[in-house]
Structure 1
């Protein structure tokens, strides 16, 4: 037995209307075509669905039972069609994102707030993890999108890399803030906030001071740069930090904010990447979000560059 959805839909319309002619108008077919379909359906089922007396259709008890089954089947099909339609317009589905600390507090929440607008049924999971943990979460396909410091290439991860420069953050009333470029010589012996010793930016910063013959005064060691902004604002230190943290400050800072962002030379690199599973097909929601994330990273780089160029 091979029943079609058209047969079930037509039978349901006949039952609802009580008339072959009315059902034909509802399903957009001719009356003879609907009559033929009902007879074919009865032949396939092996029992009568209607008693035909004097041109009037009277449903059999079996027809009422069969209608319940049809309503259940067609209801599931219609719900599935609505769900797929919402997924195709990115209004429904699930999206799991893992972010490193620098982007998780301001940068990504701002972006996701816009992304979720008018997508009320899109479920989102956002977690903050270290970059090495994010790498494993993406490689094992536990998360759809990762935003982290650039890992070594591996087949199980597809990545889009951004080589972003670090910037110097200091109080706006610091005399050094009048200079467009800050160097190790300017910061010789001054208290600094840096990340933990093994972090690439800490290694590069210390190496820059050593190469310039300047004293590197590490007063504060941090796991992320974000709390360092408060220490700088309080006058406890200066800091050479990643671009995403600097941009997050710009997003939140009032017009008369107490911090200045300046270019630092020699250039300290902080490479970040958008990571996706290498052996999995991206969902429509993930693809759309990645497009927005790429645009947001480019916008962040342009915004900070504008501040550096006008300082």
Structure 2
């Protein structure tokens, strides 16, 4: 049994006559009849009754056709996938990012990317940086954005963003009147802290220790977006990436510069030993365009 025989059988069942099947397949009627006879010999039962020059499907032929239909659906899907790959690379984009960039850079970049590739299907998830790394390393996602505290073994990592952090304050906080916030200004303040493993928190804790400053931690979270939401709700102050705070500014959240400067480094992760496809490369271009990267000092 070969694919051509199956195609002839499918065309005959679908179109009803050998002449119409031959026309659709662009072959002769005798070629249709011969292919059907060969297929019957292969499967070991009659697919058609021969009645007055016409072929009428047997019960076995109709049952076999149901199986062939399923195979043809799969074949159609394969052809569609091949067309997507030809036109758009993989035909889909799978991006995973740390939460801090999921409400600012990523939406803008994906909107711009979608305008360039309207037929590419996009999957996006916001996850903790350690999970981002595992999803990219395993090949489940095409690229990821993660904080620099992760172990980059098993992925190709490069610098994506390097930004100076800011202090996020509730809209009625007295420190709003301060042009620049210093560590001493945060002594005793209710403080929304990032998770203990966060690199930015490590830097901040060393600075507080050097200055003998003791903010009052009221909540810990791995997500900068949660820091902003809690600050917005009035629970305390926090130190965050400026782009994370951007969607919250003007809605009971104000940012101020913080000195001495603390920077956040974000990494772009790719699966190892696998050059990015054209659509992945285009997405990276858009992400970098909106990242507003500041050179490391």
Report the alpha carbon displacement of residue 45 of structure 1 after superposing the two structures with TM. 5.2
User: Could you say if the C-alpha distance between residues 84 and 262 of structure 1 is closer, same or farther in structure 2, counting changes exceeding 3 Å?
Assistant: farther
The answer to whether 1:189 aligns with 2:184 is yes
In structure 1, distance between residues paired with 2:49 and 2:17: 12
User: Could you say if the C-alpha distance between residues 32 and 189 of structure 1 is closer, same or farther in structure 2, counting changes exceeding 3 Å?
Assistant: same
In structure 1, distance between residues paired with 2:266 and 2:185: 28
Report the alpha carbon displacement of residue 190 of structure 1 after superposing the two structures with TM. 0.7
Report the alpha carbon displacement of residue 25 of structure 1 after superposing the two structures with TM. 1.4
Whether contact under 8 Å (2:110, 2:283) holds in the other structure is: no
| Cα deviation 1:112-148 (Å, max 9, x = unaligned) | 996999999x79684633x345444544556665432
Q: CA RMSD in A?
A: 4.8
In the alignment, what sits opposite 1:57? Answer: 54
In the alignment, what sits opposite 1:128? Answer: 127
The answer to whether 1:268 aligns with 2:262 is yes
User: Could you say if the C-alpha distance between residues 163 and 36 of structure 1 is closer, same or farther in structure 2, counting changes exceeding 3 Å?
Assistant: same
Report the alpha carbon displacement of residue 107 of structure 1 after superposing the two structures with TM. 4.6
User: Could you say if the C-alpha distance between residues 45 and 259 of structure 1 is closer, same or farther in structure 2, counting changes exceeding 3 Å?
Assistant: closer
| Cα deviation 1:12-68 (Å, max 9, x = unaligned) | 4334555332221122223343344344445555666556676x134474xx41343
In the alignment, what sits opposite 1:220? Answer: 217
| Cα deviation 1:158-207 (Å, max 9, x = unaligned) | 33432422322355782334xxxx4xxx5252126443565321332355
User: Secondary structure in 2 aligned to 1:190?
Assistant: helix
In the alignment, what sits opposite 2:25? Answer: 27
In the alignment, what sits opposite 1:299? Answer: 290
Whether contact under 8 Å (1:206, 1:216) holds in the other structure is: no
Task: Name which of 260, 268, 272 aligns with 1:278.
Answer: 272
In structure 1, distance between residues paired with 2:37 and 2:3: 16
User: Could you say if the C-alpha distance between residues 169 and 49 of structure 1 is closer, same or farther in structure 2, counting changes exceeding 3 Å?
Assistant: closer
In the alignment, what sits opposite 2:245? Answer: 249
User: Could you say if the C-alpha distance between residues 126 and 39 of structure 1 is closer, same or farther in structure 2, counting changes exceeding 3 Å?
Assistant: same
Whether contact under 8 Å (2:194, 2:224) holds in the other structure is: yes
Number of residue pairs matched?
277
In structure 2, distance between residues paired with 1:266 and 1:28: 77
The answer to whether 1:68 aligns with 2:66 is no
TM-score, normalising length: structure 1: 0.62
Listed as ranges, the matches of 1:78-157 within 5 Å are 78-82=73-77, 85=80, 88=84, 99-103=97-101, 106-107=103-104, 110=107, 126=125, 128-129=127-128, 131-136=129-134, 138-139=136-137, 146-150=144-148, 151-154=150-153, 156-157=154-155
Unaligned runs of 5+ in 2: none
Whether contact under 8 Å (2:194, 2:227) holds in the other structure is: no
TM-score, normalising length: structure 2: 0.65
In structure 2, distance between residues paired with 1:230 and 1:42: 69
Whether contact under 8 Å (1:141, 1:280) holds in the other structure is: no
| Cα deviation 1:190-240 (Å, max 9, x = unaligned) | 1264435653213323555777xx553423363344444356557776543
Report the alpha carbon displacement of residue 73 of structure 1 after superposing the two structures with TM. 2.1
